[in-house]
A and B are shown apart, each in its own frame.
Chain A
Amino acid sequence: MNCDNPITQECSVTRPEVDQAREAPLFKPCYTSRYDEQCWTVEVVLPGVRKEDVKATVENEVLDVQAFRVFELPEGWRPLGDDRFDRRYRLRLDVGPEVDPVGVSAKMEDGILVLRLPLREESKPRSIEVQ
C-alpha cells in the first residue's frame, strides 16, 4: 500500500521522501502562539522541513500541523553518532470557535511555519459608542 502521509498513513501517491520519513521518530515541535484583535498567529519551529512536506488543517476547532524532514545521504556519506536527522513532527492545538477556518493562511520561511488564523467578525472586540 502506498501512503502519502507518514504520520496518519493516508494513502494517495507515494513519494520516496515519504517512505524514508515513515520510520523516523515523531516529535512535537516548538511553537509560539499569540493573538490580537484580528487573529491568532502561531509560529511552529520546523527546521529542515520543506513547505511541500507540511500539512496543516483546521477542523473541528483543532489546528493540526503534520510535517517531516528527511536527508537523503549522498553517495559515500556516513552518519556519525546516534543523532538522526530524519524526523516527523506533529502539533495539535485547540483553536476555539472564534477562529474562522476559511481565512487561515500559512507561510513557510527558513524552517518556521507561520499560521495566521483570523477571528470571526462577530468574535472581534467591538467598541461601544457612548451617546
Chain B
Amino acid sequence: MKLIRYAQPGSRVGDWDAFFPDPFAAFAPFFAAGERSRSRGQSDVSWFENDESYVARVEVPGIARDQLEIASEEGVVRLAVSRRGESENGTERSELTLRTPDGVDFSRVRARLENGILELTFPKAEERKPVTVEIQ
C-alpha cells in the first residue's frame, strides 16, 4: 500500500490548506503527534479534580489495552505504547511521561481505556482531602 499523506493534527478550521506532508509521520512514535498538538496550543491531556482524586484523560487513539503499559511512581506516571512496526523486525515503542500533582497516592492509581481515551484516576493522599471544619 502506498502512503499518500498525513495531515497535521488538530488544526483549527481555517487551516484547510495547511497540509504538511510528513512521510515519516505514520511510522513515528505515537506520542510525537501529541507533541505537535501541544506546540499548537492544544493538549492531548485534560485534567479534572474532585474531592477524592485528580483525573487525567489522555488521548491514545488506535491503542488497544495489550499495547499500553502504565507505570506509576512518585511525581510522574509513565505511559509506554508498544506496537508492531511496519518493518519486519520488532516492535515500535513510544513513551510519554506525565507529571502528577502533589499529594497523590501513586500506589493507588486506576486506569480505564475507552474510545481511544485513557482515563487515569489519582487518589489524593488522605491528608490532602478537604476536611469539614466544625464550629465550636
A interface residues with partner B (beta carbon < 8 Å): 25-36, 41, 43, 45-50, 69, 71, 73-74, 76-81, 83-85, 90, 92, 109-112
Contact = CB atoms under 8 A, between A and B. Distances in A.
A50 B115 contact: yes
A48 B57 contact: yes
Interface of B: 1-13, 15-16, 26, 33, 42-51, 54-55, 57, 59-64, 115-117
A35 B1 contact: yes
B4 A47 contact: no
Contacts of A46: 61, 116
B119 to A, nearest CB: 9
B82 to A, nearest CB: 15
Contacts of B59: 47-48, 111
B49 A30 contact: no
A28 B12 CA distance: 6
A84 to B, nearest CB: 7
A83 B46 contact: yes
Q: Which 9 A-B pairs have the closest CB atoms?
A: A111-B116, A111-B61, A30-B9, A47-B59, A47-B116, A80-B47, A85-B46, A47-B61, A83-B43
A31 B6 contact: yes
A27 B13 contact: yes
A25 B64 CA distance: 27
Contacts of A41: 1
